[in-house]
A and B are shown apart, each in its own frame.
Chain A
């Protein structure tokens, strides 16, 4: 299973764009990259998933370079409600192993 490395924490202000980068050097050919958001005392919530290049949905964008050894979650114009822990995971149809995640704190 591919191991992921993310910054432990990040701070931002409301209205700013936040980019969280995750490294996954030993990602396998079949692995997808998935990002989850978790608020305290809640289950993780699916944000976005991608395999290569760029994926965009209504809440975020995911940038994946050609070598797929890293990925960047981009949150446009964050608000206070985006304060949460963000997890990057890689895998295919097997189990997901959570890393430490990135604790994002958004200030007014």
Chain B
């Protein structure tokens, strides 16, 4: 139980295009989902907290107009990187907190490469 999936697992795009990453909790309902970014050899950096049915809360320094987050249901959150640039190339990871529980469960990550 408590499986989180991400799609796609890997994406390569041209500079200036937008990329959507999906995060799904497969066997539980997640009232809150989180989006992280991780650069090589570094720790995970929290980007935003997404609550179902409400606007996401972004961490300081994260542009909300560039990283659009939608949490339309209890099992799905999406992150859209708009007008992607090479510096947005990174490993994006989502996590979901099961309703009524404390621990978070992480997705497998999405490797974004912007050419």
Contacts and interface: CB of A to CB of B under 8 A. Distances in A.
Contacts of B95: 43-44, 96
Given A42-B109, A43-B93, A43-B108, A34 B43 contact: no
B88 to A, nearest CB: 17
A95 B105 contact: no
A49 B46 contact: no
Interface string A87-108: 1000011011111110000000
Given A92-B102, A98-B46, A101-B43, A41 B97 contact: no
A45 interface: yes
A4 B101 CA distance: 22
B112 to A, nearest CB: 12
A43 to B, nearest CB: 4
Interface residues of A, number: 20
A46 interface: yes
A11 B45 CA distance: 25
B111 A93 contact: no
A104 to B, nearest CB: 15
Interface of B: 2, 4, 6, 34, 36, 43-46, 49, 91, 93, 95, 97, 102-109, 111
